[in-house]
Structure 1
């Protein structure tokens, strides 16, 4: 696995090595040792599966407040997303900055999202499915939603959202979190 630290402190892009032969390929998408070597979270008590029917569907930007903050490990298994993370850690040198990356079934890239980040995506293909690991269980009373179009953050989304939940439509600005 190749780990590349991103411009946002503590976040990583992970590229699994593929072992190809006439049958197809094999890859490792998680290695406790490699995560430990980088002092990354390696505890995943919840694994989530998200399936989105239509291109242009926006989900997020979600996070959980302490003490239930979540580290996430995100991977697309079918389709493609424009994935976004926003650093919400006020003590961080990259506070309020965002990082975006296109995750697809073809590039097999994995995004490591540390605690204290909001996470969301817009589907850039219909019938997209992702799986993501979370370092703590979902707690609805501790969930927050950062508004997807906050002018302070100014995310450069690749397309205008066509569909989103009421929760995502009514997220809070960074200033009001």
Structure 2
């Protein structure tokens, strides 16, 4: 497995070493020792899984302190555009976002540390997404930013007429309206 630094500090892509043979393939999706050797020392305590159809956009979601979550995101089936927005006020990349295509085929993972908003759009007909978190869900700490915020200007790679967003995500505030920080 290799760890690839993105353009935003602490946001990394995990590229597994895949062993293929006539039976199929094998790879380590998570190896605590290798993660720790690369400075990824979160104590993951829960796995979450979602299934979505093409055009679905989930996010941008986060939890504030003291329940801010680190997320290790991967796709079991299908393809998504995974997006993380840096909300750490003291970061030189505050307000910037990074996106990467994660798929069942490429088997890449995105390690999203606390202090980021996270979301994804489904690019394939369906997608199953699995992510580990290091904090339990806390309703009072739940926050978000509207997916189509003009300041962030994220290209979700989904046609406007194909976007499917939950009613809850449609009423999230814009980036300029957030009043919390990390």
**TM-score, normalising length: structure 1:** 0.96
CA distances 1:19-61 after superposition (whole Å, capped 9, x unpaired)? 1222111101111112111221331111101011x21011000
For structure 1, list consecutive stretches of 5 or more residues without a partner in the other structure: none
Aligned position for 1:36: 36
Structure 1 counterpart SS, 2:150: coil
Cα distance between partner residues in 2 of 1:44 and 1:36:
12
Whether the 8 Å CA contact 2:57–2:165 is kept in 1: the answer is yes
Aligned position for 1:91: 90
- Matched pairs, number: 176
CA shift at 1:12, angstroms? 0.4
Q: Give the alignment of 1:63-78 within 5 angstroms.
A: 63-78=62-77
CA distances 1:118-172 after superposition (whole Å, capped 9, x unpaired)? 0001111122101000010011111101111111111122112521111111111
Cα distance between partner residues in 1 of 2:22 and 2:9:
40
Cα distance between partner residues in 1 of 2:101 and 2:21:
27
Aligned position for 2:101: 102
For structure 2, list consecutive stretches of 5 or more residues without a partner in the other structure: none
Structure 1 counterpart SS, 2:68: coil
Cα distance between partner residues in 2 of 1:41 and 1:163:
35
Query: Does residue 167 in structure 1 map to residue 163 in structure 2?
Result: no
Whether the 8 Å CA contact 1:82–1:102 is kept in 2: the answer is yes
Aligned position for 2:138: 139
Aligned position for 1:21: 21
Structure 1 counterpart SS, 2:76: strand
Cα distance between partner residues in 1 of 2:3 and 2:70:
16
How large is the Cα RMSD of the aligned pairs? 1.0
Cα distance between partner residues in 1 of 2:90 and 2:65:
15
Question: Does 147-156 or 69-78 show the bigger shift?
Answer: 147-156
Question: Does 90-99 or 32-41 show the bigger shift?
Answer: 32-41
